[in-house]
Structure 1
């Protein structure tokens, strides 16, 4: 009995520890997010985040998340990598 409760405790702790690694990250609205928030996206650093904000200010809001690839330095692959986290609403 002692081994099974110890094993169950280990399984529970492991599940909790690994569960946080797969926690759903919140969606980022590319039409309203600030540069610091945009920089948290995969493949987007501070300079690209600033470029997104500048593009948005110069051209208006993005109609679709795919329009993010219109920003200089941001390719389709970067948009695809972040597709689940991007929104325009």
Structure 2
């Protein structure tokens, strides 16, 4: 009787041990899957935090611009203006044009950009053809005659005046035009990493290529 009892106990132990082993083997795939999911979740959070940080840095656009106003104005000098100011704002800051200024020579509705030199010629200079043309002034400043930002000539600061273009994207634009020999069209801007259809639609009316 004792032998039979011992045998039963032995069989039960063997069955119990086998059952535990099987259960452990069945649980292993689930444990591995949970570990993989946790790693993916952590990686996703890190990527989101990185994107948020980049967006925050790119959102730091200058709130003011500095413009050098000279020529036929009452008070030539460097003036700090709110971002988005026009040429007429810069001229007004310099005390307005003098009586000898060629009033219609400049497009006073055009936007000014940070670091721009704005020269107001006299009537004599304009008539004699000695004044720097608006196109020549825009080439120096990176701004086209119509006030748009020229992708092929604009400085980093000028590019950063565009909505959605921060420090990193401005550097990418400059690097791209140097490597490719310039932009052939404004649509080519979307070839740059981080500048997709959404950003392009916001700035397409403010940019040009020459």
Whether the TM-score (by the shorter chain) exceeds 0.5 is: yes
SS at match of 2:152: coil
Residue 56 of structure 1, CA deviation: 0.8
Q: Which has the higher helix share?
A: 1
Residue 28 of structure 1 is matched in structure 2 by 149
Instruction: Determine whether 1:64 maps to 2:185.
Output: yes
Query: TM-score normalized by structure 2?
Result: 0.31
Equivalents in 2 of 1:78, 1:59: separation in Å?
21
Q: Which has the higher strand share?
A: 2
Residue 24 of structure 1, CA deviation: 5.9
Equivalents in 1 of 2:186, 2:197: separation in Å?
10
Equivalents in 1 of 2:158, 2:196: separation in Å?
19
Residue 33 of structure 1, CA deviation: 0.5
Residue 167 of structure 2 is matched in structure 1 by 46
Residue 31 of structure 1, CA deviation: 0.7
Structure showing greater relative contact order (alpha-carbon pairs closer than 8 Å, 6 or more residues apart): 1
Instruction: Determine whether 1:81 maps to 2:164.
Output: no
SS at match of 1:82: helix
Equivalents in 2 of 1:51, 1:34: separation in Å?
12
- Moved >2 Å (runs of 4+): 23-26
Alpha-carbon RMSD across the aligned residues, in angstroms, is 1.5
Query: TM-score normalized by structure 1?
Result: 0.69
Equivalents in 1 of 2:201, 2:188: separation in Å?
12
CA contact (8 A) 1:52 1:71 kept: yes
